[in-house]
Structure 1
Amino acid sequence: MRRLAPLAALAFLAACQATPDVVQGPSRPGDDSALSTMERVAVAAQKCWFAAGDPAFKGLAMSPELTSHSGNPRILAVPRGNVGGLPKLVVEARGNPAQVAAYGPLMAGPDAGRISADVSRWSRGSTACTA
């Protein structure tokens, strides 16, 4: 019986744990979480940049990483045929409400302003390809 006493005490202490870790459930359409925001941005980016043949994204493909273990969902614009290659653009969201950042070589080029405007518009819920 004496051998079971420490085990019983440990079980009692574990049961008294203050609160369990909060796990974020699935996103709801229209919420402001990082995941929901990046889902909207990814759908619009695929439609407006990649499928539409936007010249700024010629030779690139979208590689979504929406279920990132870091908790920061993102999409990458990578060389077509080399999804493991260095991204030319990273669009990443974090927090709730989400804060979205875009960075990479494309953000140092002539299309940076338009890319920023597109991402901003899509993260607010618009699905339009142009302002």
Structure 2
Amino acid sequence: MRAAAFIRFMATAGSVAFLTLVAGCQTESPPAPASNTAALATMERVALGANACWFKSGDAAFKPYRLAPELNSFSGRPRILIVKRNSPESRPLAVVQAEGHPARLQAFGPLFSETVGARMTADIKRWAAGGTGCR
């Protein structure tokens, strides 16, 4: 009986020593995952940034408009629309959409040719690349 207990003890001790050796060879922490570059994840970041920086902040340049996100797209092209505040059913003044992995963005509409258009383009590029915050 003593020999069997000794053998089990040695097998357990050997297993613990092996696991300790393997654990010592592991890196300290896994590398950080890259930001998701799929179309939906990219458009979610853009929508959150636009909502926070352009609309929720009370930015005067965007007072006449409203954000209309359409992220649940069955076409594989999630998008956000900027429409007139008092006429959301009218034609969008700006459309930002993405498709693919990595996402290919498109932004178009008459609002991009207005004075706020350059700022919108810079913000959208920053948010799409993973940046946060308002300028």
TM-score of the pair, normalised by structure 2: 0.71
The Cα of 1:121 is off from its aligned counterpart by 0.1
Q: 2:5 corresponds to which residue?
A: none
Q: Which residue of 1 aligns with 2:102?
A: 97
The CA deviation at 1:119 is 0.1
When Rg is computed on C-alpha atoms for both structures, the one with the higher figure is 2
Q: Which moved more, 1:101-110 or 1:113-122?
A: 101-110
1:76 maps to a residue whose letter is L
Shift of 1:69: 1.9
Alpha-carbon distance between aligned partners in 2 of 1:56 and 1:82, rounded to the nearest angstrom: 17
> What is the aligned partner in structure 2 of residue 79 from structure 1?
84
The counterpart of 1:63, out of the listed 62, 68, 77, is 68
Question: What amino acid is the match of 1:95?
Answer: G
> How large is the Cα RMSD of the aligned pairs?
1.7
What secondary structure is seen at the aligned counterpart in 1 of 2:105? strand
1:79 deviates by: 1.2
Structure 2, unaligned runs of 5 or more: 1-33
1:114 and 1:41 mapped to 2: Cα distance? 14
**AA matched with 1:85:** S
Q: Secondary structure at the match of 2:92?
A: coil
**Equivalent runs, 1:39-50 vs 2, <5 Å:** 39-50=44-55
Q: Are 1:129 and 2:134 counterparts? A: yes
Partners of 2:84 and 2:59 in 1: CA distance: 14
The offset of 1:115, in angstroms, is: 0.8
Give the count of matched residue pairs: 103
Aligned-partner Cα distance in 1 for 2:88–2:68: 7
Equivalent-residue separation in structure 1 for 2:74 and 2:88 (angstroms): 18
The CA deviation string for residues 28-55 of structure 1, in whole angstroms up to 9 with x for no partner, is x931000000000000100000111223
- Paired with 1:88 and 1:58, the residues of 2 have a C-alpha distance of 13
Residue deviations 1:88-107, cap 9 Å, x none?
11111111100112111111
